[in-house]
Structure 1
Amino acid sequence: MSHKYSGGCAHIHTHADHDPIDNHTCHCSVCKGVTGQDTTHVVFFKHGDVAVDNEAGLKRQPFNANNPDGPLELCICADCGAPIMLDDKQSRIRVIVPNLMGYDDQIAPAPYHAFYDPASGVPKPSDGRPVYEALRPDFEWPAPS
């Protein structure tokens, strides 16, 4: 069966049949540190909208090393080490980084910039997309699933 969105690795497959609830270019220091990218295309799905075919094969670790008790866990494949998703311990969202988690160009480009910090010294993005110091103002966290 084909799915609207799918990714993962050879050992663990993920998919979603519903559209993301948020899609942004992230400028936060945690994403920079974890991905090694200057900015990261980040997509939030409702937790229950991303299915994982082999959750037992996931190795979980804190997403933010400076906040190990925070809500997000980086899930990687225990066999090959591929990043699979970020999982929210509160069961609100699952996060996909398309270019690192097998989704590539299945998801539309990010319509805005999030977590831009003017104090970082990095020039403010000037590509015409809105730039925020957090998530877009109308974003609402979903209820846990």
Structure 2
Amino acid sequence: MSSYDGGCAHVHTHADHDPIDNHTCHCSVCKRVTGQPTTHVVFFKHGDLAAEGGPMKRVPFNDQNPDGPLEICICEECGTPIMLDDKQGRIRAVVPNLMGFSAEMPATYHAFYDPATGVPKPDDGRPVYEGLRPDFVWPQPS
């Protein structure tokens, strides 16, 4: 077990439990939201990642599915994205390079790779899946 810290000058996020999933995401939603060709995403059980401090604005993660389960929490003071919050209470997720995390949390696989995009299949030795890793089980809501 390790300790993970992130956030901004106004909102502090922290977890004292290891992540339950850690992947490089290739999905179109992550590309659209972050502007990155791939996105390093880390899932924590919902109750394992806490946020303290200033108020946060919540916006749908997927603007094309605004009623979906994930919301982006953004610091109201500085506009920094803080975390993704699952309205169903299963997970909270962070994008370490955008959400102030410096701890080593290397991705263990590639998720949501779609060969139809024309992007070459990753060949860095990590497994590549069309979705989340096959053994991933969504945690029960907290």
The TM-score bracket by the shorter chain reads: over 0.9
State whether structure 2 residue 134 is matched by structure 1 residue 142.
Answer: no
What is the aligned partner in structure 2 of residue 19 from structure 1? 18
What is the aligned partner in structure 1 of residue 89 from structure 2? 91
Instruction: Give 3-state SS (helix, strand or coil) of 2:116's partner.
Output: helix
1:64-103 deviation per Cα after TM superposition (whole angstroms, max 9, x unaligned):
0110000000110001000000000001000010000011
Q: Is the Cα–Cα contact under 8 Å of residues 98 and 107 in structure 1 kept in the other structure?
A: no
What is the aligned partner in structure 2 of residue 35 from structure 1? 34
CA distance in 1, matches of 2:108, 2:70: 23
What is the identity percentage for the equivalent residue pairs of Structure 1 and Structure 2? 76
Cα distance, 1:109 vs structure 2:
1.1
Instruction: Give 3-state SS (helix, strand or coil) of 2:67's partner.
Output: coil
Unpaired runs of at least 5, structure 2 = none
Q: How does the TM-score come out when normalised to structure 1?
A: 0.95
CA distance in 2, matches of 1:30, 1:78: 23
CA distance in 1, matches of 2:141, 2:63: 24
Q: Which of 67, 70, 81 is matched with 2:68 structurally? A: 70
RMSD, matched Cα: 1.0
Q: Which of 112, 129, 134 is matched with 1:132 structurally? A: 129
* Deviant stretches of 4+, over 3 Å: none
Q: How does the TM-score come out when normalised to structure 2?
A: 0.97
What is the aligned partner in structure 1 of residue 78 from structure 2? 80
CA distance in 2, matches of 1:78, 1:58: 5
Q: Is the Cα–Cα contact under 8 Å of residues 12 and 52 in structure 1 kept in the other structure?
A: yes
**Alignment length, in residue pairs?**
141
> What code does the residue aligned with 1:91 have?
G
